[in-house]
Structure 1
Amino acid sequence: MTDPSDDPVFDALQGLSVGDALGAQFFVPDTARRHLDARTDPPAPWPWTDDTEMACSVHAAWRERGTIDTFDLTHAFARRHDFDRGYGPAANRLLRLIREGGDARRLAAELFDGQGSFGNGAAMRTAPLGAAFAADPAAAVRPAADTAVITHTHPQAVDGAIAVAVAAALAVRARTEPTTPARHLRAVAALTPPGAVRRGLADAARITDRTDPGAAAALLGNGSRTSAADTVPYALWCAAHWLDDYPGAVWAAIGAGGDVDTVAAITGGVVAARTGTAGIPARWLAAREPLPGWAFPAPLRPAPRPLTPMRLPRAHPVPDLRWSDHHWHRYRTGLRTPHWLTRTTEGVLHLHRADTGAETWSLAFAAAKDGWRPVAAHAEAHPAHFAGPARLTDALLELEAGA
């Protein structure tokens, strides 16, 4: 694993994962009694939970593309899903079915009798993404929503993810622009859609004169109902109060009880976006289980020339083939031969002519139990840009042979 320097996205992931791992230790009653009041460290090591596992996938997705490809992220969540990390029953079932080839959008929308999940699972993973948008916190809104609806389609859950991403973006700005707890929370609320989460943030901004976590949680919630509206306002209240003090913020997040690992993960991710990894106690970083190597992929290679989409797409017979994860990943990284270039976006493989950059074919893929299968194909039909009599299968064979 690399250790990026001066990277707020990485800092937020570090802060999120340490908060998650430390908070998870306080689900053990004896640990809570002996260590919480004295603020002493529980015995190491501290395994992280589903909060960190999903945040690592978000971090990897951003690191690869500098944007969010929801198809890639959906299947990253599903294929990296570790049942033993503490996922809830609905998430376990959803991710298993996606991994087995189920329709991810339909499955997420059907949760909880069709209302979608309004839990805090989308909010817990977006601080690293938000930290990438310090230059324009409003630009974090749509990508955060895109990451949320993969598993949580209820507006409250989406709003929670947006609020955390915006809070992290603003926390990075606070490295150079002084702020106050009330100002920080009001700015987050201003970029959060109207609803229960925004109302909770407004309540949080009104009690910034208080520093008692228990009193704040009594008004805002502490995640005990595991909803975004019951979790995000309190987590961001803690972050806003102790924006320059990572240990103080995380101890406050844990101190009110409830869903302590998720509250501490959200709080820790936002505060570390302000303090950097240097603000996290070194002994806490050492106690936390190491992050997985797959969270730090190399960025995808840019195309050697500008690529243009098809001018006149026309349906094409779908080839009968199956790809393994290894094959799909190779195409995702951009295969190149003397005649062809590839790129993928949202589960679609695009084949471009190497000489002109013009797209000739596209193949839309879906997950299957045994890998990946094409479900639709298109070919360029514009007379001025038609590539000639070459066949799609021949182009794929050339790519396989030449890559």
Structure 2
Amino acid sequence: MRGRAGRSVRVRQPGPGRRAPHARRRTGNYQPGEYSDDTQMAVCIAEVAATGADLREPAALDRIAANFVRWAEDGATDIGVQTQQVMRAVRGHSPDGLAETMRAAAEELHRRTGRSAGNGSLMRTGPVALAYLDDPDALAQAARAVSDLTHHDPLAGDACVIWCEGIRRAVLDGTFDGVRDGVGLLLQAQRDKWAAWLDEAEAQVPHTFPNNGFVVTALQAAWSAIMRTPVPVEDLPNGVFRCDHFRDALYAAVGAGNDTDTVAAIAGAMLGARWGVSGIPLTWQRIVHGWGGHRSADLIRMASLSTGGGSADRVGWPGCDRMESPIRQPLMTAHPDDEGVVLGNLLTDAVDSGVDAVVSLCRVGKKQFEQVPAENQVQVWLVDQPGANANTAYALDQAARMVAAMRDEGHKVLLHCAAGKSRTPAVGARYAMVRMGRTGVDALGEMRELLDEHGYLVNNELRRVVERFA
């Protein structure tokens, strides 16, 4: 069920018997994988963060505010009551000074109603953290400034500060410790309350916080889902991975009920920061799309640019039309067990190879495979350097299973990495295990025999992972 994300609720100190009241819910008409207003508003922020702008500056805040207005007028699939009233108040205002006018409208709404601690600024706050990975103080200022555009109550800003610091540390350290540390970035008078609310969340299951239109209970429900969901013990032969925590905790967040997509969006930002894109199921990534015309690759591009101050790397990624191959000869070889799978590299031409689906194991440009429908292009975050991957086994297994899923749909699939020497045969071997029941040793030997003349060179980490699946 769709919730009224960011809706107005009366601000009270949460305690026994004192929760924010329920608001009406409505069902959204969404396609599978289409993101709702939570991510739509996050995109509004990410588009500005991706330029390298300092989100504390008036010009950057004006651009975020203008994106909010544009979204509200031409793309919002849902909009919270509170946010909607603020958007109406600034309708027709020029872009210059729009942020200040929007903040004033949010303050006036709070003055009139006393209700501005909805969950609407928390649900969208994730991209702010990516722009300040090396500066927690600046992050706290930016998180509050972006929150204040629509949510005047300091509780909303507090929640955004705490959550953004949690995301920052999750990206850098791979832990959830930053949420507790985020409390230390608040005013002294607020710290004990928030610490107690986090304690309460860790002690209770997510659906204990059903009135989650209120920012405090929304954060509690998300935090409960994350902290009370166990991280699995990895068991490759039985298909169990540590990063399954991402999926399991999101299911728990959805189970909180009421404004369930918003609780999941809040939790998902933190979980995504902790486990990385390589820990997100490829079947989910493949179908992600929504307002702004963005798909998974576009969201990854904005996130990467945000962490890089708006600049691409030395080879132009992300944002380049095509990535250059490290070798000069294209690879276009049929998988020995399935002629419908073409093993290739960055020089492999989709038209020449006759494929209509691509699974990329390396970075690709925006137009690298422009002849292939976007929904049939899947990019896997898998680095060909031992120790460089957060979820090596999961990413490799997911890639092989995505090839299998596409074949089941009737597609001819190009499986490729940059050179076709290491990641491609490793995933090709795992595909033979999944599809044909081969052992890891036999499947790798088959790949070596097939690709030896092309410089087969599977790194030791990938080789060991493939063998461990057996």
The bucket for the TM-score relative to the shorter chain is 0.5 to 0.7
Q: Deviations over 1:328-351 (max 9, x none)?
A: xxxxxxxxxxxxxxxxxxxxxxxx
Superposed displacement of residue 269, structure 1: 0.7
Asked if structure 1 preserves the Cα contact closer than 8 Å seen for 2:247 and 2:280, the reply is yes
Asked if structure 2 preserves the Cα contact closer than 8 Å seen for 1:246 and 1:279, the reply is yes
Structure 1 distance, partners of 2:188, 2:84, is 30
Asked if structure 1 preserves the Cα contact closer than 8 Å seen for 2:110 and 2:153, the reply is no
Q: 1:98 to 1:279 in 2, by over 3 A?
A: same
Structure 2 distance, partners of 1:99, 1:86, is 17
Structure 2 distance, partners of 1:264, 1:132, is 22
Correspondence for 1:148: 147
Q: 1:164 to 1:206 in 2, by over 3 A?
A: same
Correspondence for 1:113: 111
Q: In the alignment, is residue 252 of structure 1 matched against residue 252 of structure 2?
A: yes
Q: In the alignment, is residue 268 of structure 1 matched against residue 262 of structure 2?
A: no
Q: How does 1:4-403 map to 2 (within 5 A)?
A: 45-68=32-55, 69-81=60-72, 82=74, 84-101=76-93, 103-114=101-112, 115=114, 117-175=116-174, 179=175, 183-193=177-187, 199-205=193-199, 208=202, 213-214=205-206, 217-218=207-208, 221-222=209-210, 224-242=211-229, 244=243, 245-290=245-290, 292-293=292-293
Q: 1:127 to 1:289 in 2, by over 3 A?
A: same
**Structure 1 counterpart of 2:45, one-letter code:** V
Superposed displacement of residue 231, structure 1: 0.9
Q: 1:54 to 1:44 in 2, by over 3 A?
A: closer
Structure 1 distance, partners of 2:68, 2:199, is 34
Superposed displacement of residue 300, structure 1: 7.4
Superposed displacement of residue 261, structure 1: 0.8
Superposed displacement of residue 198, structure 1: 6.2
Superposed displacement of residue 233, structure 1: 2.4
Asked if structure 2 preserves the Cα contact closer than 8 Å seen for 1:57 and 1:77, the reply is yes
Superposed displacement of residue 98, structure 1: 1.9
Superposed displacement of residue 205, structure 1: 3.6
Q: Deviations over 1:350-375 (max 9, x none)?
A: xxxxxxxxxxxxxxxxxxxxxxxxxx
Q: Deviations over 1:203-235 (max 9, x none)?
A: 434664x5x634xx42xx24x251211211221
TM-score normalized by structure 2? 0.47
Asked if structure 1 preserves the Cα contact closer than 8 Å seen for 2:109 and 2:116, the reply is yes
Q: 1:260 to 1:196 in 2, by over 3 A?
A: farther
Q: 1:90 to 1:28 in 2, by over 3 A?
A: closer
Over aligned residue pairs, what C-alpha RMSD do you find?
3.3
Percent of aligned pairs with the same amino acid? 25
TM-score normalized by structure 1? 0.55
Q: 1:122 to 1:28 in 2, by over 3 A?
A: closer
Deviates more, 1:97-106 or 1:164-173: 97-106
Show structure 2 runs of 5+ residues with no match: 6-24, 232-242, 312-470
Q: 1:98 to 1:197 in 2, by over 3 A?
A: farther
Correspondence for 2:17: none
Higher relative contact order (CA 8 A, sep 6+): 1
Asked if structure 2 preserves the Cα contact closer than 8 Å seen for 1:231 and 1:263, the reply is yes
Superposed displacement of residue 76, structure 1: 1.4
Show structure 1 runs of 5+ residues with no match: 1-19, 21-26, 32-42, 302-403
**Structure 1 counterpart of 2:264, one-letter code:** A
Superposed displacement of residue 88, structure 1: 1.7
Q: 1:105 to 1:191 in 2, by over 3 A?
A: closer
**Structure 2 counterpart of 1:107, one-letter code:** A
Asked if structure 1 preserves the Cα contact closer than 8 Å seen for 2:45 and 2:127, the reply is yes
**Structure 2 counterpart of 1:88, one-letter code:** G
Q: Deviations over 1:298-346 (max 9, x none)?
A: 8879xxxxxxxxxxxxxxxxxxxxxxxxxxxxxxxxxxxxxxxxxxxxx
Asked if structure 2 preserves the Cα contact closer than 8 Å seen for 1:145 and 1:159, the reply is yes
Q: Deviations over 1:243-285 (max 9, x none)?
A: 7521011111111212111110010011101111111111122
**Structure 1 counterpart of 2:102, one-letter code:** A
User: 3-state DSSP class of the match of 2:123?
Assistant: helix
Q: 1:194 to 1:51 in 2, by over 3 A?
A: farther
Structure 1 distance, partners of 2:156, 2:200, is 23
Deviates more, 1:80-89 or 1:115-124: 80-89
Structure 2 distance, partners of 1:248, 1:300, is 33
Asked if structure 2 preserves the Cα contact closer than 8 Å seen for 1:74 and 1:104, the reply is yes
User: 3-state DSSP class of the match of 2:84?
Assistant: helix
Superposed displacement of residue 139, structure 1: 3.2
